[in-house]
Amino acid sequence: MSGSANNSQFNDDELVPPEWLNSEFIAHVMGSHDGEPVTEVTDLTFSPASAKGDHYASIMFRAKVRYSNQKGEFQKSLIIKTMPEEEGHKKELIGGSPIFETEVGMYTKVLPEFERILRQAGDSTKLYVDCIYHSLEPHQVLIFEDLVEMNYIVLRDRDATLDEIHRVYFKLAKWHAASLKVLNENPEFLEPYTHGLFEMPHVLKEPFMKTGMEFFVELMGEEPELNKYKSYFESIKEDFLERLIAEWKEHRNNTEVDPYRVLCHGDLHLRNIMFKYQDPGTFKDCMLLDFQISSVFPLGLDLVYSIYMLMEPDHRWKNWDDLINYYFSVLEDVLKKIGYKGEMPTQSGLWKRLHQLKYFELFVISTFLPLMWALRDKSVDFGDLLQNEEKRRKCSYSKGYIKDVKILLARLDKLGLLQD
């Protein structure tokens, strides 16, 4: 991240670190990590570690630190993730939510166990970046080595390539496979992970949550090619959020053993993934990030969400089936290799289950997808977009989004999903 970047690119609450994030604290962190007391922190500088729109609830800083101990002098670039402590929109949003506890558990307990399962089968795939320090008291904080220093990048100026998307599904399928084995053999291990998007306090009160379907129905009336769908969406508009929540609770409360129920990432969009290039033009790997709302749920949650929030439009239109089938091929292969003893999912069963979260899928298309189209304009302020009703309405009328909706609804209609 360039030190000369314009501050308008960053979230306001990431421009100045909290007072406790100081040399004394960093000395404690590095001493704990190295197993050697730090004698002096000789240099410490902070900068925002993410751009606007990259994440929603937490705040992140990059710390460049020089320090010394009895073994010599060292320098590190650290990524520090914490929760806002000052009053404001983010603090109100997360008030009472155990999202940070969820993420700490994912990094320190769950994902290490998933990797252990893979290692036992001879699979060296890395599912997460190592956490070098974590705490819940007196401050909620997670600290990692900087992936940028390891040649990982966040895609900001282009869409993901087909190779990059394949790699994401490769990682996701292995994650899901390991979680299926755990759920089959030791379900209590994942019992705490039931805090997804619609369990977060205040989320349902957010203005954008309620207006997406309203604007979507308006669009049906303006576009002749979409008129044929208007009556259906009008019939569900008034109580759409209630239908969505009822659907969500039905699946949350159904805890029966199911080969299509896994530990989902929960927020698999492009900005929650970093991609690694070993040499210029040589793609090597990706790393999934941000596990604050990971929870046990039907795997369609991750797959449907990723179709609209990860795939670029052309891949969504042309490669949807191939990408999902690739995901399944990896899932099936890994389940066999790790010795999964439960009922095996099938490819036909996966496709049958893919759209079982019908109202969630319609929510993503009507509410999240227009925002994703708007964010293709790099000058758009994500926070402002969420709070500005008129700007969100305009998102629904972009030419790209309208073309996308025409293709998507034709597909869902053919599947019989646009009827009760």
Domain of 292, CATH number, reads 3.90.1200
The answer to whether residues 109 and 69 belong to one domain is no
Task: For 33-139, list the strands marked E by DSSP.
Answer: 40-48, 59-69, 72-82, 131-135
| 81 & 196 share domain | no
Q: How many domains does the chain have?
A: 2
Q: What is the pLDDT at residue 98? A: 85
Joined tokens for residue 288: 């999934």
pLDDT at residue 51, rounded to an integer: 64
SS3 content of the chain, % helix, strand, coil (to 5): 50, 15, 30
Which pLDDT value is given to residue 419? Answer: 85
- Adjacent-strand bridge partners of 135: 141
| pLDDT for res 278 | 83
Same domain membership, residue 109 and residue 57 = no
* The domain boundary residue, chosen from 73, 94, 115: 94
According to the model, what pLDDT value does residue 15 have?
Answer: 66
> What mean pLDDT is predicted for residues 41-63?
79
Q: Which domain holds residue 300?
A: 99-124+150-414
- H helix runs in 135-279, sequence order: 162-185, 207-222, 227-237, 240-253
Give tens-digit pLDDT for 200-215: 767 778 888 889 999 9
Whether 1 has a pLDDT exceeding 70, the answer reads no
Least confident of 10-14, 170-174, 330-334: 10-14
CA-CA distance, 228 to 233, in Å (whole number)?
Answer: 10
Look at residues 49, 79, 94 and tell me which one is the last residue of a structural domain.
94
**Residue 182 structure tokens:** 């755990």
Q: Kindly state whether residues 165 and 198 are assigned to the same domain.
A: yes
**Quick one: 274 and 402 in the same domain?**
yes
pTM reported for the whole predicted model: 0.90
Same domain membership, residue 338 and residue 237: yes
- The closest of 53, 154, 165, 60 to 103, measured between CA atoms, is 60
My answer on whether 107 and 86 are in the same domain is no
80-89, 110-119, 359-368, 408-417 — which is least confidently predicted? Answer: 80-89
Residue 55 to residue 51: CA distance in whole angstroms = 8
What number is the average pLDDT over the span 57-79?
92
**Residue at 129 is within a domain:** no
Q: Assess whether 110 and 258 both reside in one domain.
A: yes
Residue 197 counted as domain residue:
yes
Tokens matching residue 332: 């099936």
What is the percent of the chain with per-residue pLDDT over 70, rounded to a whole number?
91
pLDDT at 314 over 70: yes
Residue 269 predicted with pLDDT over 50:
yes
The fraction of the chain above a pLDDT of 90, given in percent, is 75
Residues 154 and 192 in one domain: yes
Whether residue 348 sits in one domain with residue 320: yes
How many residues are given for the chain?
A: 420
Per-residue confidence at 327, pLDDT binned at 50, 70, 90? very high
> Do residues 251 and 391 share a domain?
yes
Contacts 24+ apart (CB under 8 A), 89-96: 89/383, 90/13, 90/56, 90/57, 90/58, 90/59, 92/202, 93/56, 93/57, 93/200, 93/201, 93/202, 93/203, 93/206, 94/57, 94/200, 94/201, 95/201, 95/202, 96/201
Does 189 map to a domain? yes
**Residue 398 CA to its chain's centroid (Å):** 25
Cα(370)–Cα(329) distance, rounded to whole angstroms? Answer: 31
> Domain check: are 35 and 165 in the same one?
no
Q: Are 88 and 68 in contact (CB under 8 A)?
A: no
Q: Hey, what are 151's tokens?
A: 């040649």
